[in-house]
Amino acid sequence: MANAVQEAVAPRVQALAEPLARSLGLELVDIEYLREGPSWILRVFIDKPGGVNLDDCSAFSHALGPALDVDDVVGTTYSLEVSSPGLERPLKKPKDFERFAGKRIKVKTFAPLPSAAGPGQKNFQGVLVGLKDGQVEIEAEGAPLRIPLAAIAKANLVVEL
């Protein structure tokens, strides 16, 4: 039940939040709607070049909160949290794989990818080269690797110290 609720709410929130984020010079990165204990939490992650600060999060929250309530987008009691995606920002959209070229990333695929060297694997880490013809290109252990975008379950930046 919770999964169906989550899947129904996120696209409605995105439709409302995306133009609001753009109007404030922000990028909508991700939306999570989940149950934590007895409460529902709506987490909205925003970003901008150079990163977001508390003022950005507050301004977006003050714009989004009333809009969600007026349109009754969520349909139940929830807490709204607006924040940065963090240093290990998720890569979700095709443009993310172009924008962060040259950065180190982790990728997890839905299923093991076939390999000539034996059984396939699902977890990869390397330097993002970019996106070409629907395939994410990374340099992993000195060798180029192409992963179909549709095969990626999760991808995010890796903090380099």
The CATH number of whichever domain residue 71 belongs to comes to 3.30.300.70
Calpha distance 10→28 (Å, rounded): 12
User: CA dist 121 to 43, 65, 111, 124, 148, Å?
Assistant: 31, 42, 8, 8, 14
pLDDT band with cut points at 50, 70 and 90 for residue 6: low
Q: How far apart are CA 146 and CA 140, in angstroms?
A: 10
Mean pLDDT of 93-97: 94
Q: Are residues 49 and 112 in the same domain?
A: no
Do residues 150 and 104 both lie within one domain? yes
Both structure tokens of 32: 């999570």
Other C-beta atoms within 10 Å of 75: how many?
11
Q: Which of 83, 113, 137 is the last residue of a domain?
A: 83
Single residue among 24, 50, 83 that ends a domain in this structure: 83
> Domain range for residue 132?
94-157
pTM value surpassing 0.85: no
Any idea which of 1-15, 24-38, 60-74 has the lowest mean pLDDT? 1-15
Distance CA 147, CA 137 (A): 6
What does DSSP assign to residue 115?
E
Q: Bridge partners of 36?
A: 39
Residue 20 CB coordination number (10 Å): 18
> Do 126 and 153 reside in the same domain of the chain?
yes
- Tokens 């290109």 locate to 137
pLDDT in tens, 51-88: 999 999 999 999 999 999 888 888 888 999 999 999 99
| 41/60 same-domain check | yes
